[in-house]
Amino acid sequence: MASRGHLKASPQIEADRRLLAFQSYEDYLDSLGTTQDECYLQSIEVSRAIAELGYRSSGETLSRKQFEKRLAAVHLYLYPPYKPYELSSEGMVKGDPLHQDLALRERSNRVGILSTIIFLKYYTKAGFEISGYIDFGEKLASEDWKPFFRGKKKILPKITDLGYYHWRSGRVVSNDSLNYKVQQDPVKGLIFQNRFDRKIINPAPGVDPGANTTRKRIYTDLYDLVIIFDHVVRQRI
């Protein structure tokens, strides 16, 4: 199985999470002091000055500028600023049923309320089957869907998607995505685990797809088979 790795903070960000405990740079310096400093120096300012010079820590002592810069980086990672977005389907003229169904799901996928997996199957002109699973939310964040919603482009499975199968070459690839981890269950086969509420989505035909998940087949002229799995994300863990 090919994998693109898990999304996580850099080692520096993880290490600097400790800075969240301090309300100010002065609080940080005070944490480096000792009870002996208070007893013998009898001056908070002097104690802080000694700490800032690096005499109260066996490791790195941050300057005010370094402290503020690193703390700001942690806040930016944990609480990214809201960025308004434009719906790719906005202004879409009524088209194929698949366009309509995905347009209804775009906003909720962008804000993380809903997490949709799209299964597509089509045949090439030579008659070979290509199929795959696509993380709709991830694709919305990484690709321009306006040409699709305007009927100028088809969205096709790629070897970088959740799942990809090429009948002629026999190539089978699966990848973790922004919203899902791919697992191979010895009984159920290929399954997806949502990263945020850890619920399992089972795409196998004829079985329950899982908690808070529904399956819907879309009848469209664009592909030979389209099935949409809608997972309602209950909570983020």
Amino acid at 5: G
Residue 91, in any domain of the structure: no
Of 26, 47, 78, the domain-final residue: 78
Domain count, the chain: 2
Residue 2, in any domain of the structure: no
pLDDT digits (tens, 9 = 90+) for 114-142: 999 999 999 988 889 999 999 999 999 98
Q: pLDDT at position 207, please?
A: 94
Whether residue 67 is found in the same domain as residue 120: no
Of 20, 48, 78, the domain-final residue: 78
Place of tokens 């790719």: 88
Q: What are phi and psi of 224, to 5 degrees?
A: -75, -30
Provide the pairing of β-strand 200-201 with 213-217: unpaired
Residue 68, in any domain of the structure: yes
Residue 6, in any domain of the structure: no
pLDDT digits (tens, 9 = 90+) for 165-204: 998 888 899 999 999 999 988 888 899 999 999 999 999 9
Residue 156 · residue 122 · CB < 8 Å: yes
Amino acid at 199: K
Residue 5, in any domain of the structure: no
Determine the structural domain holding residue 43 and report its residue range.
11-78
Whether residue 136 is found in the same domain as residue 226: yes
Amino acid at 106: E
Residue 222 · residue 96 · CB < 8 Å: yes
How many whole angstroms separate alpha carbon 173 and alpha carbon 134?
Answer: 12
pLDDT of 231 above 60: yes
Whether residue 124 is found in the same domain as residue 25: no
Whether residue 67 is found in the same domain as residue 111: no
Q: What is the pTM of this model?
A: 0.64
> What is the pLDDT of the chain when averaged over all its residues?
83
Q: pLDDT at position 197, please?
A: 92
CA distances from 150 to 96, 97, 140, 221 (A): 10, 13, 15, 15
Residue 231 · residue 210 · CB < 8 Å: yes
Whether residue 228 is found in the same domain as residue 121: yes
Residue 73 · residue 15 · CB < 8 Å: no
Whether residue 147 is found in the same domain as residue 51: no
Encoding tokens for residue 218? 């879309």
Residue 90, in any domain of the structure: no
Specify the DSSP class assigned to residue 66.
Answer: H
Q: pLDDT at position 15, please?
A: 82
Whether residue 28 is found in the same domain as residue 140: no
Whether residue 106 is found in the same domain as residue 64: no
Whether residue 150 is found in the same domain as residue 41: no
Beta strands in the chain (DSSP E): 114-123, 129-135, 163-166, 171-174, 180-185, 189-194, 200-201, 213-217, 225-232
Taking each continuous run of H as one helix and of E as one strand, the counts in the chain are 8, 9
Residue 83, in any domain of the structure: no
Q: Which of 9-13, 118-122, 164-168, 230-234 has the lowest mean pLDDT?
A: 9-13
Q: pLDDT at position 162, please?
A: 95
Mean pLDDT of 11-34: 80
Contacts for 7-14 with beta carbons within 8 Å, 24 or more apart? 7/178, 9/77, 12/70, 12/73, 13/73, 13/74, 13/77
Whether residue 199 is found in the same domain as residue 110: yes
Whether residue 47 is found in the same domain as residue 132: no
Residue 190, in any domain of the structure: yes
Mean pLDDT of 76-90: 76
Whether residue 114 is found in the same domain as residue 147: yes
CA distances from 153 to 87, 102, 186 (A): 17, 14, 37
Q: pLDDT at position 237, please?
A: 42
Closest CA to 26 of 8, 54, 51: 51
Percent of the chain with pLDDT over 90: 50
